[in-house]
Amino acid sequence: MKVLVAVKRVIDYNVKIRVKADNTGVETANVKMSMNPFDEIAVEEAIRMKEKGAATEVIAFSAGPAQCQETIRTALAMGADRGVLVQTDAELQPLAVAKLLKAVVDKEQPGLVIVGKQAIDDDSNQTGQMLAALLGWSQGTFANKLNVADGSVEVKREVDGGLENIKIKMPAVITTDLRLNEPRYASLPNIMKAKKKPIETLAPDALGVDVAPRLKTLKVEEPPKRKAGIKVKTVAELVDKLKNEAGVI
């Protein structure tokens, strides 16, 4: 069974982002970029499946500008076998990415697609569910634990009240939550090896996908700033402030 993972290039999670002065977006020039952390978990899960013999090949997919090659290389260094990059400088929204993924899935015929539950830049939490819909496949979202057996996947999901167990038919789309696994770091020899692994580059047109954005971003602004308050010295002072100043207890 092939497993396809999708990896997104995003601003590194440690970077304090800045809104552009003209309010058209967020400053990305000269900012450290990394793989979306939830996608690292997806890559790790796929590699573990291969190590256990449940998967035969792990394909890392990305979509975006040429620099997404680096993100795919990171997945290859972790242990993925080869990459597919749909290269475009156009703005890509979740529905468009799901359509690009579907086109690649139609070609590659994986048994599972594993993606991060959300990207930490646009925080949409849509692509995996949309892909499952377009393929007519089942979906195991917010996965905390996976068990692949006999043409189905048992998925433990992180939900509002705790955890939920479902069983879904394969082929399926999985979206990862934080506790699914702890992604490995790529070793230096594996980083070197990854440079020789193949990455196929495709264009959206060649896949017959219209990636035109459906949502128009009118403006991007700083959120209202919360002012730092005061430091109190004692518990008694805190309780007094909460009672008589804030009136919350």
Partner 1 sequence: MGVLVVAAHDGKAVRANVANAVTAASQMDPDVTVLVAGSNCDDAAKSAASIAGVTKVLQADDAAYANWLAEDIAPLVVKLAPNYSHVVMAADSVGKNIAPRVAALLDVAQVSEAIQVVSPDTFVRPIYAGNAMATVQTADKIKIVTVRPTNFKAAAGGGSAAIEKIGGEGAKGLSSYVGAELSKSERPELTSAKIVVSGGRGLQSGENFKMLETLADKLGAGLGASRAAVDAGYVPNDYQVGQTGKVVAPDLYIAIGISGAIQHLAGMKDSKTIVAINKDEDAPIFQVADYGLVGDLFQLVPELTAAIEKK
Does position 154 interact with partner 1 (CB under 8 A)? The reply is yes
Binding segment for partner 1 (CB under 8 A), chosen from 69-77, 158-166, 184-192, 194-202, is: 158-166
Report the interhelical angle of 68-78 vs 37-51 (nearest 10°).
40
Among 137, 148, 186, 202, binds partner 1 (CB under 8 A): 137
Smallest gap, in angstroms, from Cβ of residue 193 to partner 1?
30
Q: How far is CA 176 from CA 5, 85, 207, in A?
A: 11, 21, 26
Closest CB to partner 1 among 56 and 91?
91
Smallest gap, in angstroms, from Cβ of residue 37 to partner 1?
9
Q: Give the footprint of partner 1 on residues 222-241 (CB under 8 A).
A: 222-223, 226, 228-232, 234-236, 238-239, 241
Among 118, 181, 194, 204, binds partner 1 (CB under 8 A): 118
Query: How far apart are the C-alpha atoms of 103 and 131, rounded to whole Å?
Result: 10
Give the x-and-dash track for 5-34 against partner 1 (CB under 8 A).
Answer: ------x-x--xx-x------x--------
Query: How far apart are the C-alpha atoms of 117 and 129, rounded to whole Å?
Result: 9
Q: Which residues of 173-183 are buried (b: 16+ CB within 10 A; e: fewer)?
A: bbbbbeebbeb
Query: How far apart are the C-alpha atoms of 18 and 187, rounded to whole Å?
Result: 32
Q: Among residues 103, 111, 116, which one has the least CA distance to residue 56?
A: 111
Q: Give the footprint of partner 1 on residues 42-81 (CB under 8 A).
A: none
